[in-house]
Amino acid sequence: MRVKAKLAYTRTFGCRANVADGERINGMLAEIGYGFTRDINSADLILFNTCAVRENAETRVFGNVGALIHQKRRNPNLIIAVCGCMVQQEHITEKLYKTFPFVDLIFGTHALPKLPQLLENVIQEKKRVVDISDSKTPEMSDRENLPIRREGGLKADVPIMYGCDNFCTYCVVPYVRGRERSRTPDAVFNEIRGLINDGVKEIMLLGQNVNSYGKGLTGNTSFADLLRQIDGIKSEEIGGSDFRVSYMTSHPKDLSKELIDVIAESARISHHLHLPVQSGSDEVLRAMNRGYTIQQYTDIINYARFRIPRISITTDIIVGFPGETRNDFDQTLDLIRKIRFDSAYTFIYSKREGTKAAQMSDNVEAGEKSSRFNEMLAVLDEASGSAYERYIGKTLNVLCEGAGRAGGEFSGKSREGVITDIVNTPKDLDITGKFVNIKVDKALKWAVQGVFRGVFKK
């Protein structure tokens, strides 16, 4: 099917795995003839790619879809589609289908590669189409070779695996994204080489638990092997240019010392580790089915800081998990003070239908949860507020991403993942897209400022 001069308005909610799906959705739409608009009123197709990880993400989507009634009244030929994690849940799709009769197409995460066919069904047969078929282990080949429309410029995300097998008791991801499956190293390498040849300088490898990469593949490539091989790509193979590689998300239960050694000895792998801890209490971690203790977590952090002294460490924390006592919560605060994370994504526990935690009795009142949440933000701020002072006087390697924010001539990100304002660059020298060395002279709240010291790599 090809559509004639039609415009699509697409919007992705949620995490980077969703953004990566959104890039494939846009790729497929472009291939069948859609152009893209940011003006929702001029669109012929409106598509929302949704997130299910917390209830407020779903509430937002319901609000946004509800508001589309106006566009549909103005243009009865408008096609409205809702896809992704949220609608992979049957109870949500039922509600959405009934509440919003003007939604034409609903499809889940597993049906993503079928988008062109599904749209054709809507257009040709003039009927509402729903595909949330729950394939627990969808064919990987369906996702390979999908067209991709990226907007990241110097940066690109490359999924190395899909789904999750961990079943943390609070989390809906394993239910909406199916079993964990890894792409082959060849598929990953081909994509990376293509991106670098197109001028990409920073590649983020994506997976819900990148440390368990390779399970089920023939050839026994572990995540450490994959990173080692990517780090070893010869610069002749990529036209003499260079790149940096980062990865997300690491799971503390599967993060090996070997992997930290590989990172420490590498030339290109990011020195930023996002390692979600979720709670500082062993009891809560057990109830969450996380598979590690706080002692094990701190041991990994200590080893990482020993091998890579400049490493930056960020985390995710959930407050108010069912049964979390004041004492459990105090242990989370203690951990924050002890580790001094560079930053943290913080969440109030959100009950997700179908998960184990949804069956647990939850005796912590909502008011108490939000006051714990605010208390935690204050402790995080105090513990991490001056964390970047440790970089003062140090030389950092920075990928310059373009014109600077307030105060800096240029702006970029260091190998540690720290946002950097670059000053004192020679007049008329454009360092956008280049790796440069800078010497840090100031620590700002969520960034550092550094003086330009020279271009490091192409």
Q: How far apart are CA 52 and CA 352, in angstroms?
A: 8
Q: How far apart are CA 408 and CA 425, in angstroms?
A: 10
Subset of 246-285 contacting ligand SF4 (CB under 6 A): 251
Q: Which of 143, 181, 251, 372 binds ligand SAH (CB under 6 A)?
A: 251
- 171 belongs to the binding site for ligand SAH (CB under 6 A): yes
Q: Which of 249, 270, 281, 312 binds ligand SAH (CB under 6 A)?
A: 249
Q: Which of 18, 88, 209, 384 binds ligand SF4 (CB under 6 A)?
A: 209
Task: Say which amino acid occupies 252.
Answer: P
Q: Which does 349 bind (CB under 5 to 8 A by kind): ligand SF4, ligand SAH, none?
A: ligand SAH
Cβ closest to ligand SF4, residue 352 vs residue 415: 352
- 447 belongs to the binding site for ligand SF4 (CB under 6 A): no
Cβ closest to ligand SF4, residue 82 vs residue 206: 206
Minimal distance, residue 114 CB to ligand SAH, in Å: 25
Subset of 108-137 contacting ligand SAH (CB under 6 A): none
- 341 belongs to the binding site for ligand SAH (CB under 6 A): no
Virtual CA dihedral for 234, 238, 240, 241, nearest 10 degrees?
-110
- 352 belongs to the binding site for ligand SAH (CB under 6 A): yes
Virtual CA dihedral for 145, 148, 152, 155, nearest 10 degrees?
0
Name the pairing type of β-strands 419-423 and 6-12: unpaired
- 208 belongs to the binding site for ligand SF4 (CB under 6 A): yes
Q: Could you tell me where the DSSP H helices lie in 215-291? A: 223-231, 257-265, 282-287
Q: Which does 102 bind (CB under 5 to 8 A by kind): ligand SF4, ligand SAH, none?
A: none
Cβ closest to ligand SF4, residue 89 vs residue 166: 166
Q: Which does 350 bind (CB under 5 to 8 A by kind): ligand SAH, ligand SF4, none?
A: ligand SAH
Minimal distance, residue 137 CB to ligand SAH, in Å: 18
Cβ closest to ligand SF4, residue 250 vs residue 449: 250
Minimal distance, residue 335 CB to ligand SAH, in Å: 14
Sign of CA dihedral 256, 261, 263, 266: negative
Cβ closest to ligand SF4, residue 212 vs residue 425: 212
Binding-site residue total for ligand SAH (CB under 6 A)? 17
- 51 belongs to the binding site for ligand SF4 (CB under 6 A): no
Structure tokens at 387: 């964390």
Could you identify the residue written with the tokens 């559509």? 3
- 29 belongs to the binding site for ligand SF4 (CB under 6 A): no
Cβ closest to ligand SAH, residue 108 vs residue 276: 276
Q: Nearest 5 degrees, angle CA 219-CA 205-CA 249?
A: 100
Q: How far apart are CA 45 and CA 306, in angstroms?
A: 52
Cβ closest to ligand SAH, residue 54 vs residue 415: 54
- 411 belongs to the binding site for ligand SF4 (CB under 6 A): no
Cβ closest to ligand SAH, residue 148 vs residue 277: 277
Q: Which of 276, 280, 322, 417 binds ligand SAH (CB under 6 A)?
A: 276
User: What mask of x and - would describe binding to ligand SF4 in positions 150 to 189, judged by CB under 6 A?
Assistant: --------------x-xxx--x-xx---------------
Positions in the binding site for ligand SAH (CB under 6 A): 53-54, 170-171, 173, 208-209, 249, 251, 276, 278, 316, 318, 347, 349-350, 352
Positions in the binding site for ligand SF4 (CB under 6 A): 164, 166-168, 171, 173-174, 208-209, 251
